[in-house]
Each structure stands twice: as C-alpha cells, then as structure tokens.
Amino acid sequence: MSNTPARQLVGGAAAVAVALGFYYGVAKNGMPLGLGLGLGLPLWGKIRGKKKIVRVYMDGCFDMMHYGHCNALRQARALGDQLVVGVVSDAEIIANKGPPVTPLHERMIMVKAVKWVDEVICDAPYAINEDFMKKLFNEYKIDYIIHGDDPCVLPDGTDAYELAKKAGRYKQIKRTEGVSSTDIVGRMLLCVRERLVNDMHNHSSLQRQFSQGRREKFEDGESESTTRISHFLPTSRRIVQFSNGKGAGPDSRIVYIDGAFDLFHAGHVEILRVARELGDFLLVGLHNDQTISAKRAHRPIMNLHERSLSVLACRYVDEVIIGAPHEVSRDMITTFNISLVVHGTISESDDFQKEEGNPYAVPISMGIFKVLESPLDITTTTIIRRIVANHEAYEKRNERKSASEKKYYEAKTYVSGD
C-alpha cells in the first residue's frame, strides 16, 4: 500500500509526458514526437488520416477574358483543392466558333494570371474526347470536370461534356449573368457600326446603352441587334468574393498604378506583374467612366464595376480603388501610405509625359514616380482595331452565338450557387 502513491505519481508523469509530446509535436511539426513511448507514425496516421487532394478541371476558349470567366474559375476552384485549366487552341476555336479576338499566347497569359488557377494546359481540345478524358484522369489526376449550367453544344449538335457526364465525373457551376465574350464583342461592333452610319446621336447615347442594357436600332432599316449590352447587376457580395480581404502591413512597400483597365487584356496583366515585383503590395486605381470619357477618344466598353472585378481577379493585384481620382495628390499618397507610383510606357494617353497638366506631378516632385517598360505593346484600342479589321467575320460569329444565348435565356431556370 505504501508504494501506491509513488506508482500513481510515476504513471501520472508518464501520461503528462505523452500528452506534452503529442501536443508539441503536433504544434511544431504537424506530427507527434512520441518521446520514445511507442506513439509512432502508424498510430498518428490512423488518428490524423490524410485527406485526398481533389483536382478539378475546367476548360474554355477564354477569348476576350472577362470577370464572368474569372467567376467561373473561382466557383470551379471552390469544388476542389487544385484547379487545372485547359485553354483551347486557336485552330479549335476557328473550327467550332469562328475567329478568336485574342490569340492563344495572350489567352494563356490571362488565364495564368487568375488567382484561383493552379495549373494550365495549353492547346486543350474544344470537345473532351475519350482519349483526352483518360489523359485528364490518369496523367493530370483530375477527379472532376467542371462546366457552367449553360449548354456547350458542338457543331454536330452533341454535348461537349457528354463523356464526362456518363463517367460520373462531371460537376456543374452557375453561369455568371450579365456578360459574355459575345456581349463584349457586340459592344465593340456597335462602335464599328455607329462609325459606319456616322450617327452622332447614337454616339452620344452609346455609353447609356452599354450601362442600361438597351439595344441598338439603326435608321437605315437594319434589323435590331440581338446583342445584349450590359445586364450586369453588381453586388457587394461579388466584390467580397473577388477581394483578397487583406490590407497592407504597416511596413509594406505599397506600389500604386492607375488607369482605365478597359477590356482587361494581356498588356494590362503584364504591366501589373512588373509593378507588383517592385513592392510588397500592389494598389490599383480604377478611373470612373466619366473620367475615361473625358480623357480618351472613346468611351469605356466595360463599366466601372465590370472593370473592377476583372482587375481584382488578377493574382498580382492586392487592392483596388474603385473610382480613383485622375490626379495623384499628396493627400492620397499619405492616406494609402504609397511608396512608389508607376506607369507603363504603353498607354492610351500620354498625360504622364506632359510638363503641364501632368496627373503625376505630385509623385514626380516627391521623387517617387517611375515609368516602367511595358512588356507587351497592347492597348484597349489594339483590341478594338482587331474587331474593326475583321468586323464582318465577328458579326457572323455573334449572330450565331446570340441565337444560342437567346435560347438559353428563354429556357433559363434558377440554379443555386454563387
């Protein structure tokens, strides 16, 4: 009986040692130290278990990439742990839809820059055939193939995702309403057609049509366009979904760059990448529609909220000022603790080079302004000119796509999701 307290003390000490070893091992290394008491990895494996990494695949043309594409990729990523994205080749797009506005190398830059994308497959087929599906499952270790609730029909009338559905490896997400590549090309085509008829009344009302979803009708008897202009309904929840949710630290080197970022393209992505490399935090100022209209030769194709989401989806961007002032003031620099203001050499405007009326006069006087060599010679005007140069082909493509989208909206039912 006299040894009982001593035994209890030793037993209690051993239990505490095991508990402490387990705790500190988990806290520091993600597995227990064991302390030589037989609590090894096999038992820990049974206790902890290993969750299988779920890899999901989504493909697309991603032509004229916009916030609708980005939201689809965000939803797809939420269905797994890693998102692999297939980018369809130029030849496949031409065969199935018509000529793309942006070539493959630009589309690859855009997709790789989306912050929800983990891996990209170049030259993916437009339709997932059996061989490619096996490659996805076996080589890329894909668990599920993802697509939106809008139908993807091949020229022969069959479903592009039929094989994935039959294999039980298909998941569906909700289409982002209010935008599509067809819509955006349609907006630019309206600009082209407006120039052709030289109707100043149409020109003055063009931005109103974009923002209110009105359709163009010409005086020369031409039929009303079926292109939907802008049915985008911005919500605070969508902005939160796209935001990083983190501010800059007190010692962060904050780099600021501003602009319209209209028709968000590969040129924008690349200058943002270069700017982000100069600091710890990239703050992007987006000018409002009225400022752009007053300073540029054309009105913005995308409205402020649409442009905001496109920029927020970029992995190089940490924060966005929605409706930033045209001039960078000392108060603004102090408010946001900006360390460096930058501007690319390729731009729609040369204001940054002016001696008088330069919007960057304050950061220049403070010695914190830098002009960056733009990696790509692409502007919003470049994209519009591509449409102008081949507008007949894009008119035909949009007529076909508009017809299919009309059917989708006529048969549309509520789909849960975000």
Sign of the dihedral through C-alpha 113, 114, 117, 118: positive
Task: Inform me whether the pLDDT recorded for 38 exceeds 60.
Answer: no
Q: Which of 17, 47, 22 is nearest to 33 (CA)?
A: 22
Q: What is the pLDDT of residues 212-239, one digit of tens each?
A: 444 444 334 333 333 334 567 778 999 9
| Phi/psi of residue 52, nearest 5 degrees | -70, 135
pLDDT of residue 6: 47
Q: How confident is the model at residue 144 (pLDDT cuts 50, 70, 90)?
A: very high
pLDDT of residue 181: 78
pLDDT (mean) for 167-182: 86
Task: Inform me whether the pLDDT recorded for 183 exceeds 60.
Answer: yes
Task: Count CB neighbours of 267 within 10 A.
Answer: 23
Task: Inform me whether the pLDDT recorded for 164 exceeds 50.
Answer: yes
pLDDT (mean) for 379-394: 84
What separation in angstroms does the CA of 281 have from each of 209, 270, 333, 337?
37, 16, 14, 11
Q: What is the pLDDT of residues 312-365, one digit of tens each?
A: 999 999 999 999 999 999 999 999 999 999 999 999 888 888 888 899 999 999
What is the spatial distance between Cα 316 and Cα 115, in angstroms, rounded to a whole number? 8
Percent of the residues in the chain that have a pLDDT greater than 90, as a whole number: 54
What is the spatial distance between Cα 65 and Cα 111, in angstroms, rounded to a whole number? 8
pLDDT of residue 35: 35
Task: Inform me whether the pLDDT recorded for 255 exceeds 70.
Answer: yes
Task: Inform me whether the pLDDT recorded for 386 exceeds 80.
Answer: yes
CB 226 within 8 A of CB 185: no
Give, for 298, the enclosing helix (H) or strand (E). Answer: none
227: β partners: none
What is the spatial distance between Cα 369 and Cα 362, in angstroms, rounded to a whole number? 9
What is the spatial distance between Cα 22 and Cα 44, in angstroms, rounded to a whole number? 10
pLDDT of residue 1: 46
CB 192 within 8 A of CB 388: yes
What is the spatial distance between Cα 305 and Cα 116, in angstroms, rounded to a whole number? 20
CB 112 within 8 A of CB 121: no
> pTM of the predicted model, to two decimals?
0.78
